[in-house]
Amino acid sequence: MTSVSETVTTFEFPEIHNFPPFFTRQPNEDTWKVQRQLWCDLILAFYKHNRLSLMPLAEAATESPFSNRQIHRSLQVDTLREIIEELVRQGHAVWTGPKNAKDTCMVYWRKPEVWANIIHMWACEHSLCNTVLTLYELANGDDTVKQEFHGLDLSTLRRSLEILQSQGKAQMFAGTSDDDMGIKFFS
């Protein structure tokens, strides 16, 4: 069993994770599409399970799930990049860092559009509309401990709130730092 020590429950890898060719980019285009989608699914499941979001590609390629020490196989960075391109196409990731470098990405195991809805519903249910909250309060405050978006990384949170703003469901206020940023929800 592969141990993911930092998590309480062990992530269950799909069977194909032990299939050595899974770590080699398949030359057949049809097989590759299947392989790429299996990796996409695995990345989203793994990142959700471990609540991860930022992925520096070169570093990630040497670790689980992109490296399987039991069978001594690792994904090449170029192959991983191709997989991330697909995730980006599907709206489940964005490239961050210098443009065109494509060596770091944010994985959205849940799309910001969905987070936006969840957060807005939470605010409405808790009669927090028209009240100003800081982004820090939202992500790390005591009131949101039981919420799924508790502990959400700031970048994804901001992206989600921007969506709400564009829908006219919220207004953001600049603060002295990112944490200080304020948000006001409208019903």
Partner 1 sequence: MRKAVGIGGLRRKEAERQALSKKGTELAKREIDKLQEQIGLMKTNLEEFVREHQRDIRNNPVFRVQVQRMCQLIGVDPLASRKGYMAELLGVGDFYCELGIQIIDICVATRFMNGGLIDLEELRQRLIRRRLKGSEPVVEDDIKRAISQLAPLKGGYRIVDFGGRKIVQSVAREMNADTSMVLGLAQQTCKFTIEDVRIGLGWDEHRIRACVDDMLRSGIIWVDHQGAVMSEYWVPAFFSQISGASLSNKIIF
Give the footprint of partner 1 on this chain (CB under 8 A): 12-16, 18-24, 26-28, 30-31, 34-35, 38, 41, 72-74
Q: For residue 111, give both structure tokens.
A: 């799309």
Nearer to partner 1 among residue 26 and residue 140 (C-beta) = 26
CB atoms within 10 A of CB 29: 8
d(CA 109, CA 168): 25
Q: For residue 65, give both structure tokens.
A: 């799930």
CB of 164 to partner 1, least distance (A): 35
CB of 15 to partner 1, least distance (A): 5
Nearer to partner 1 among residue 87 and residue 138 (C-beta) = 87
Nearer to partner 1 among residue 73 and residue 184 (C-beta) = 73
CB of 101 to partner 1, least distance (A): 26
Query: Closest Cα partner for 117 from 163, 86, 150?
Result: 163
Contacts of 166 (CB under 8 A, 6+ apart): none
